[in-house]
Amino acid sequence: DLELEIPVLHEVPPPLGPLYGEKHSAPVVDFSYVGIDAILEQMRRKAMKQGFELNIMVVGQSGLGKSTLMNTLFKSKVSRKSVLATAQEKIPKTIEIKSISHDIEEKGVRMKLTVIDTPGFGDQINNENCWQPIMRFINDQYEVYLQEEINIDRKKRIPDSRVHCCIYFIPPTGHCLRPLDVEFMRRLSKVVNIVPVIAKADTLTLEERDFFKQKIREELRANGIDVYPQKEFDEDEEDRMINEKIREMIPFAVVGSDQEYQVNGRRLLGRKTKWGTIEVENIAHCEFAYLRDLLIRTHMQNIKDITSTIHYEMYRVRRLNENNTGGGNISPLQLNSSSTLELT
């Protein structure tokens, strides 16, 4: 063997950096700084230059305010409301999957946002298997990514169309989840990050809301449905603490609006009714702000990471094992590079 030493981890010799300056009896050396932490800035620069991609899917019966919520989240018309123009237009016979992309930019950070709408979901009389087209779409995106990844000549940056997050709209009945909800979430939580929300929450009083949320959480637990943030993916204690707080609050009760009203001298997004104005971004009124913070301001990168390192990898394992009756982790390529075979 040509190497003298197998790379081995040595514990830190004299640490570097201004925090741990070297001690001298003589006057202190000025240049103890190496510059390793400059890599953070380099990474940030690279990320800004490349831009980001985010793909969000919204699922729920028509009329629950999916488009409005998306527009409220991103403060622009990312989603067009599907209003049936005339009585002649029928409710769609099948579920469509409509994907619309926009380039948005904020403080130099560019993002390609794709909102995937699912009109027709839950609208038919017979909704059995309504989850199928959606599941198929999600798996198709994984397939596209996988195909590009296993190409010999592949793109430098594989375009990411995988669904990072699926927001599921629960109608505000105030009682409990319906079989449709349970069935959908049970199946889809295995392949994508699901964020359930209570839509049009301004029809529930605070007590009704808390009761509903508790019922929903119980039912999710009873059915073994793991929604985002999933317990099993908590990385460390800190993560767990933060995520537990979130898990105690989901599903978020949201209200969406793209209209601004004057409230106490400020212009705020809200819904104006005869009995008052509901302020969308006021956490005393609804939990939109929590949803926005979770999805965008704090956990966006995490959502994407879980999609790529867990959901996608699971799809890949399933797919590559499809014809393999034996299962396991045998890579046929090892057959060629080594001359011995090991039988387990």
Letters for 217-246 (x = contact with another protein by CB under 8 A, - = none) are ------------------x-----------
List the interface residues with another protein, window 10-69 (CB under 8 A). 10-19, 24, 26-27, 29-40, 42-49, 51-52, 54
Stretch touching another protein by CB under 8 A, among 165-173, 181-189, 248-256, 336-344: 336-344
Contact between 135 and another protein (CB under 8 A)? no
- Residue 130: partners with Cβ closer than 8 Å, 6 or more residues away: 95, 121, 122, 124, 180, 184
**Which of 88, 264, 336, 339 contacts another protein by CB under 8 A?**
336
At closest approach, how far in Å is the CB of 22 from another protein? Answer: 8
In the sheet that holds 260-263, the strands lie side by side as 260-263, 266-273, 276-279
**Which of 126, 264, 273, 329 contacts another protein by CB under 8 A?**
329
**Which of 23, 93, 156, 245 contacts another protein by CB under 8 A?**
156
Residue with Cβ nearer another protein (56 or 278) = 56
- Residue 136: partners with Cβ closer than 8 Å, 6 or more residues away: none
Gap between the Cα atoms of 61 and 66, Å rounded? 9
At closest approach, how far in Å is the CB of 341 from another protein? Answer: 7
At closest approach, how far in Å is the CB of 63 from another protein? Answer: 24
DSSP sequence for 12-34? --S--SGGGPPP-SSSPPS----
DSSP 224: T
| Residue 232 DSSP SS3 | helix
Residue with Cβ nearer another protein (249 or 300) = 300
**Bridge partners (DSSP) listed for residue 39:** none
The answer to whether the beta carbons of residues 52 and 112 sit under 8 Å apart is yes
Residue type, 238: E
Neighbours of 180 (CB within 10 A): 16
Stretch touching another protein by CB under 8 A, among 129-137, 175-183, 186-194, 331-339: 331-339
List the interface residues with another protein, window 181-210 (CB under 8 A). none
List the interface residues with another protein, window 95-124 (CB under 8 A). 101-112
Gap between the Cα atoms of 172 and 38, Å rounded? 50
By rule CB under 8 A, what count of residues binds another protein?
Answer: 104
At closest approach, how far in Å is the CB of 237 from another protein? Answer: 13
Letters for 136-155 (x = contact with another protein by CB under 8 A, - = none) are ----------xx--xxxxx-
The answer to whether the beta carbons of residues 126 and 94 sit under 8 Å apart is no
List the interface residues with another protein, window 273-292 (CB under 8 A). 292
DSSP 7: -
Letters for 72-91 (x = contact with another protein by CB under 8 A, - = none) are -xxxxxx-------------
Beta strands 276-279; 266-273: pairing state: antiparallel
